[in-house]
Amino acid sequence: MRAAQKEVSERVSVNLKMLIELAKSAKPLKHYRSKIRAARSGGHLSPTKGRGMEFDEARLYQPGDDIRAIDWRVTARRGKTHTKIYREERERPVLISVDCRSSMVFATRGCFKSVQAAKIAALLAWKAEQHGDRVGGQLFSEQGVQEFKPQGGKHAVLRFLNGLVTPNFSSQKEMTLEQIIARFSQHAGHGSLLYLISDFRGLSGKAEVQLSKLARHSEVVLIHIYDPLESQLPNQGRYRFTDGQRDITVDTADKALINDYQRQFQQRQSLLQKLSRKWQLKLIECQTTDDPLEVIR
């Protein structure tokens, strides 16, 4: 009886113990790397020396050194030509944005979209920490936004997971999805790896401007969470939905209603695909019935 109650509970809400235990599951996951930006310098500290983001030292000029790297101040001071040596910046921030709006507290099969989003976010956070990257991000809902500055170590992940379990939103007015993405871009440094986990309800063409800003300097992964019923309603029947306060009954015999409902989902999905192709974003589709580990594997 208790096992059944626990299973039901974990389908509709998350707890800290559940999210901490995902650290073990994250270990075999490969750390995401964009093929498009893999050749760029910057983004991750390497022991190899070359032209990168972080100055390492100045040494005597050697044949073959790039003359653009000559350190003229040191050269003038010491009377011999010196070259600047750089280390590539290998460590980078991983920022995870998680949709906690009321539309995410829904499912007809599997677990709530909010639970699926939290599990995926936890797996990504643990994997980043295990790789040595700094972890931060944002949680957003109708009540406001909670933001986490990227930090290294397990404490940063635990701070983020605590937010997923018991969010502490700022007392700000409700923002549109485009405004949320714009706020995310303000906190994302160059070379960051960014994950946006959402059902993307309310997404419009205006989001393109904000997503393009993110894509110019960072690697962006969109993870679209949805319930199977959102993509296709049953052919016949009357279905009652409730959020605990309001009730709505949907009659699937109403073809006009069904067509409009499915068109809205398809338009949102098509827009995500269009923006992903145009700005070279990674798009991952995830249903509430999917195994989160397999989704991001």
Beta strand 247-251 pairing with 238-242: antiparallel
- Residue 28 pLDDT: 87
CATH 3.90.79.10 for the 2-37+91-296 domain, yes or no: no
- Residue 155 pLDDT: 96
How far apart are the C-alpha atoms of 228 and 233, rounded to whole Å? 8
- Residue 100 pLDDT: 96
pTM of the model: 0.77
| Ranges of CATH 3.40.50.410 domains, the chain | 2-37+91-296
Buried b vs exposed e over 1-20: b needs ≥16 C-beta within 10 Å?
eeeeeeeeeeeeebeeebbe
CA separation, residue 193 to residues 37, 135, 174 (Å): 11, 10, 26
- Residue 47 pLDDT: 40
Contact yes or no for 250/257 (Cβ under 8 A): yes
How far apart are the C-alpha atoms of 104 and 189, rounded to whole Å? 28
What is the CB neighbour count within 10 angstroms for residue 212?
15
Contact yes or no for 136/95 (Cβ under 8 A): yes
- Residue 242 pLDDT: 57
- pLDDT by 10s per residue, the chain, length 297: 565 556 667 889 999 999 999 999 999 887 665 443 433 334 444 443 333 455 667 888 877 778 888 999 999 999 999 888 765 545 679 999 999 999 999 888 899 999 999 999 999 999 999 999 999 999 999 989 999 999 999 999 999 999 999 999 986 777 889 999 999 988 887 789 999 999 999 998 888 889 998 998 889 999 999 999 887 766 666 766 655 566 667 676 677 777 777 788 889 999 999 999 999 999 999 999 999 999 988
Beta strand 82-89 pairing with 282-287: unpaired
- Residue 32 pLDDT: 61
